[in-house]
A and B are shown apart, each in its own frame.
Chain A
Amino acid sequence: RKEVEQDPGPFNVPEGATVAFNCTYSNSASQSFFWYRQDCRKEPKLLMSVYSSGNEDGRFTAQLNRASQYISLLIRDSKLSDSATYLCVVRPGGFKTIFGAGTRLFVKA
């Protein structure tokens, strides 16, 4: 089982749609969680951290479920510019950072 697993997609949605991504992780002792965004042939950039209480940043909402070992990202009112690959990132403690393979999102007009 991979340490971090994501649905690779692609997710094809129309503008204005709400889309949700899930990510599961295997190490129950994992301490920190993040969502990164990666545009085609570009470097990953931090989208948001994920806190136990859940957190929201504009149209983006991230949630953590420690009991079930998954994190989620919800995007409301999708824009064309949201088209990208979304990477789930888990830090199990220590120095290692585990990236999921990413979920591709295409938002169409």
Chain B
Amino acid sequence: GAGVSQSPSNKVTEKGKDVELRCDPISGHTALYWYRQSLGQGLEFLIYFQGNSAPDKSGLPSDRFSAERTGGSVSTLTIQRTQQEDSAVYLCASSLAGPTDTQYFGPGTRLTVL
């Protein structure tokens, strides 16, 4: 079956612009996660969705970051007024029911803020 997909695969934007990243999880997976990976660094947890609700937003770095998930499926991560330090690979993962299940990752969106 299809895995987790993300779009765009690459995004180059200018400082101060808003960007929207999309994640399409594996069909039937109720849990969805967003992570950020900066060059040479580990994954930084951003946010977790169970269905459409986000019980844990503690990882969002600032109020410029927001995420939503509608219909229990597709999720979008929005970064407003992008800064150069936002440049990273943004990875989405989904799991069947919750945090105890295996997380399957998408290929990521490589964001470059000039």
Contacts and interface: CB of A to CB of B under 8 A. Distances in A.
B56 A97 contact: no
B107 interface: yes
B25 interface: no
Contacts of A64: none
B35 A99 contact: yes
Interface centre among A43, A46, A87, A96 (most CB of B within 10 A): A43
What band does the interface of chain B fall in when counting residues whose beta carbon is under 8 Å from A? 20 to 34
Given A96-B56, A97-B99, A43 B105 contact: yes
Interface string B25-54: 000000001010000011111001010000
A20 to B, nearest CB: 19
Interface of A: 4, 32, 42-46, 49, 87, 91, 94-102
21 contacts: A4-B42, A32-B100, A43-B107, A44-B43, A44-B105, A45-B105, A49-B102, A87-B42, A87-B43, A95-B98, A96-B45, A96-B48, A96-B56, A96-B99, A97-B33, A97-B45, A97-B99, A98-B45, A99-B35, A99-B42, A101-B42
A95 B100 contact: no
Contact of A91 (B50, B55, B99): B99
A43 B106 contact: yes
B82 to A, nearest CB: 22
Contacts of A43: 91, 105-108
A45 to B, nearest CB: 7
Given A32-B100, A95-B98, A96-B56, 11 more contacts: A4-B42, A46-B104, A95-B50, A96-B48, A96-B59, A96-B99, A97-B33, A97-B99, A98-B45, A99-B44, A99-B45
